[in-house]
Amino acid sequence: MAAITSVILSDTFNTLMTRVNSIISKINTITADASTMTMAFSENAPNDASLSDDSAVLYVDSNGIFKLKRKVGAAAVTTHTVTIGAAE
């Protein structure tokens, strides 16, 4: 017969609570209404090692340039400048 290990509810709850509160704190930094969305961007480029396979990060560099850093599969991380066309 297989042994069944007990779950320690207080540890499981505290871990879940910490993770949920972390997500809520991040969401609370975003302001959105019917026509606009405001988010704070870091001016520091994310570390390449922080990107997992098939992920991307948007950031504004110290010169105010909007950039996308991405990693496709196990390939090297690439950084792209996001250009925004003139308003019509």
- For 21-76, the pLDDT digits (tens) are 888 888 888 888 888 888 776 667 888 998 899 999 888 887 888 889 999 998 99
- pLDDT on residue 14: 80
Mean pLDDT value of segment 18-22: 87
Q: What 3-state DSSP class applies to 7? A: coil
Diameter of the chain by CA atoms?
Answer: 72
DSSP state of 62: T
pLDDT: is 84 or 78 the higher one?
78
- pLDDT on residue 80: 93
* Model pTM score: 0.52
Q: From CA 12, how far away is CA 3, in angstroms rounded?
A: 20
- pLDDT on residue 16: 82
